[in-house]
Amino acid sequence: MYKSHTCGELTAKHAEQEVTLAGWVHRRRDHGGVTFIDLRDRFGVVQMVTNADLYPEAHKDMEPVRSEWVIQVKGRVHKRPVGMVNPEISTGEIEVEIQEVKILNPAKTPPIYINKEEEIDEQVRLRYRYLDLRKERMRRNLELRHQVVKFIRDYLDQHGFLEVETPILFKTTPEGARDYLVPSRLHPGEFYALPQSPQQLKQLLMVAGVERYFQIARCFRDEDQRGDRQPEFTQLDLEMSFVEREDVMNVTEDLFTKLVAEIVPEMKLLQSPWPRFTYEEVMARFGKDNPDIRFGMELVDFTDLAAQSGFRVFESVAESGGHVRGIKAQGLGDYSRKQIEELTEFVSQYGAKGLAYVALTSDGEQRSSFAKYLSEGTLKEIIMRFEAEPGDLLLFVAASPEVTFESLGRLRELLGERLGLRKPDVLGFCWVIDFPFVMYNAEEESWDPSHHLFTSPMPEDIVFLDTNPGEARGQQYDMVLNGYEVGGGSIRIHDRQLQAQVFELIGLEKEVAQERFGHMLEAFEYGTPPHGGIAPGIDRICMILAGEPNIREVIAFPKNQNARDVMASAPSPVEQQQLKELHIDVRA
Ligand code: ASP
pLDDT at residue number 173? 77
Q: 333 versus 370: which is more confidently predicted?
A: 333
CB of 456 shorter than 6 A to ligand 1: no
Distances (CA, A) of 499 to 443, 492, 563: 25, 9, 35
Please list the residues that pair with 546 across neighbouring strands. Answer: none
Cβ-based burial of 550 (10 A; exposed 0-12, middle 13-18, buried ≥19): middle
Residue 376 CA to ligand 1 center (angstroms) comes to 53
Query: In the structure, what pLDDT confidence band is assigned to residue 443 with cuts at 50, 70 and 90?
Result: confident
The stretch 366-372 carries a mean pLDDT of 88
Contact 104, 70 (CB under 8 A): yes
Question: For ligand 1, what atom is nearest to the CA of residue 199?
Answer: 1
> How far apart, in whole angstroms, are the C-alpha atoms of residue 399 and residue 354?
9
State if residue 340 touches ligand 1 by the CB under 6 angstroms criterion: no
- How far CA 368 is from CA of 224, 357, 390, in Å, comes to 40, 6, 13
Is the Cβ–Cβ distance between 104 and 67 less than 8 Å? no
| CA angle, residues 415, 419, 421, in degrees to nearest 5 | 95
pLDDT of residue 496: 87
Q: What is the DSSP letter of 535?
A: E
Query: Is there an atom of ligand 1 within 6 Å of 535 CB?
Result: yes
Residue 127 confidence class, pLDDT cut points 50, 70, 90: very high
Tell me how far the alpha carbon of residue 202 lies from the centroid of ligand 1, in angstroms. Answer: 10
Q: Tell me the CA–centroid distance for residue 489 and ligand 1, in Å.
A: 5
User: Which residue from 94, 81, 82 is spatially nearest to 38, judged by alpha carbons?
Assistant: 94
The residue whose C-alpha atom lies closest to atom 4 belonging to ligand 1 is: 197
For residues 309 and 430, the answer to whether their CB atoms sit within 8 Å is no
Kindly state if the Cβ of 478 falls inside 6 Å of ligand 1.
Answer: no
Q: Alpha-carbon distance 408 to 393, whole Å? A: 14
CB 51 within 8 A of CB 35: no
Please state the rounded mean pLDDT for residues 15-40. 95
How many Å apart are CA 301 and CA 295, to the nearest integer? 18
488 lines ligand 1 (CB under 6 A): yes
pLDDT at position 227 is: 66
How many CB atoms lie under 10 A from the CB of residue 561? 18
Query: Are 391 and 363 in contact, with CB atoms under 8 Å apart?
Result: no
Query: What's the chain's length in residues?
Result: 588
DSSP-assigned letters across all residues of 31-62 = ETTEEEEEEEETTEEEEEEEETTT-HHHHHHT
Task: Give this prediction's pTM.
Answer: 0.94
Top mutation candidate among 213, 230, 235 for ligand 1, by most atoms within 8 Å of CB: 235
Q: Are 64 and 107 in contact (CB under 8 A)?
A: no
What are the residues facing 395 on neighbouring strands? 327, 357
- Mean pLDDT over each residue of the chain, to the nearest integer: 95
Quote the ligand 1 centre to 530 CA distance (angstroms). 16
Position 160 scores a pLDDT of 98
* Closest protein CA for atom 8 of ligand 1: 534
The domains located in the chain, with CATH, are 12-105 (2.40.50.140), 139-275+430-554 (3.30.930.10), 295-422 (3.30.1360.30)
Does residue 116 register a pLDDT over 70? yes
